Amino acid sequence: MSANNMVDNKEITNTIDCVDDTSEKRRIGYVARGWREKVHSINTKYSKPRLKMTPLVRAALLALRLYLIMLVIILIYKFYTLVR
């Protein structure tokens, strides 16, 4: 390892140690803003379904939704009775 390389490593370490919380928060906000924009564009792209569903498929999906809601209610009830 050369002397120049050691100096460069020390400078990098000092630079990293000097980063304050506000710049970190700004970076996190920038990243979150980018994700929010990506999610928004995907949601607008797929907001309306492109497939035509038959009434039987719609009924089956409705039954599955109701079944899922029933399972969640049972799970919450079971948790409540165990905790109480």
- Per-residue pLDDT 10s for the chain (84 aa) are 555 555 555 555 555 555 555 666 667 666 677 788 888 899 999 888 788 889 999 999 999 999 999 999 999 999 999 998
Q: Which residue has the tokens 């980018």?
A: 34
Task: Kindly state the DSSP code that residue 74 receives in the 8-state scheme.
Answer: H
Task: Kindly state the DSSP code that residue 36 receives in the 8-state scheme.
Answer: H
Supply 72's token pair: 């969640």
CA distance 19 to 15: 7
Task: Kindly state the DSSP code that residue 81 receives in the 8-state scheme.
Answer: H
Q: How far is CA 47 from the centre of its chain?
A: 19
